[in-house]
Amino acid sequence: MLIPGYALLGLIGTLTSLWLLSLVLRDSSIADLFWGLGFVGLAVAYFTLFSSHTSGAKVLLLLVIIWGLRLFIHLSIRNLGKGEDFRYAQWRVEHGAIWWWRSFFQVFLLQGLLLWIIALVFVPALSRTIDWAWTDYLGLLIWAIGLFFEAVGDWQLMQFRRKPTNKGNVLDTGLWRYTRHPNYFGDAMVWWGFYCFALAHPYGLYFVFCPALMTFLLLRVSGVAMLESSLKETKPQYAEYIRRTPAFFPWWPRG
Residue 37: strand, helix, or coil? helix
Average pLDDT, the chain: 93
Residue 132: strand, helix, or coil? coil
The answer, yes or no, to whether residue 151 has pLDDT greater than 90, is yes
Q: How far apart are CA 80 and CA 126, in angstroms?
A: 33
Q: How far apart are CA 167 and CA 117, in angstroms?
A: 38
Residue 218 Cα distances to 17, 48, 110, 201, 227, angstroms: 26, 30, 15, 27, 10
Query: What is the pLDDT, as a whole number, of residue 168?
Result: 83
Residue 115 Cα distances to 72, 129, 211, 220, angstroms: 15, 25, 11, 17
Query: What is the pLDDT, as a whole number, of residue 3?
Result: 78
Tell me whether residue 24 is exposed, middle or buried, using C-beta atoms within 10 angstroms of its C-beta: 0 to 12, 13 to 18, 19 or more: exposed
CB environment 126-162: b (16+ within 10 A), e (fewer) = bbbebeebebbeebbebbebbbebbbbbbebbeebee
The answer, yes or no, to whether residue 138 has pLDDT greater than 80, is yes
The model's pLDDT over 111-125, given as tens digits with 9 standing for 90+, comes to 999 999 999 999 999
Query: What is the pLDDT, as a whole number, of residue 236?
Result: 79
Whether the pTM exceeds 0.85: the reply is yes
The model's pLDDT over 178-224, given as tens digits with 9 standing for 90+, comes to 999 999 999 999 999 999 999 999 999 999 999 999 999 999 887 78
Nearest 5°: the CA angle 162, 164, 166 is 85
Query: What is the pLDDT, as a whole number, of residue 221?
Result: 87
Query: What is the pLDDT, as a whole number, of residue 1?
Result: 58
Taking the CA atoms of 196, 200, 201 and 203 in sequence, report the sign of the dihedral they define. positive
Neighbours of 85 (CB within 10 A): 18
pLDDT band at 226 (very low <50, low <70, confident <90, very high): confident
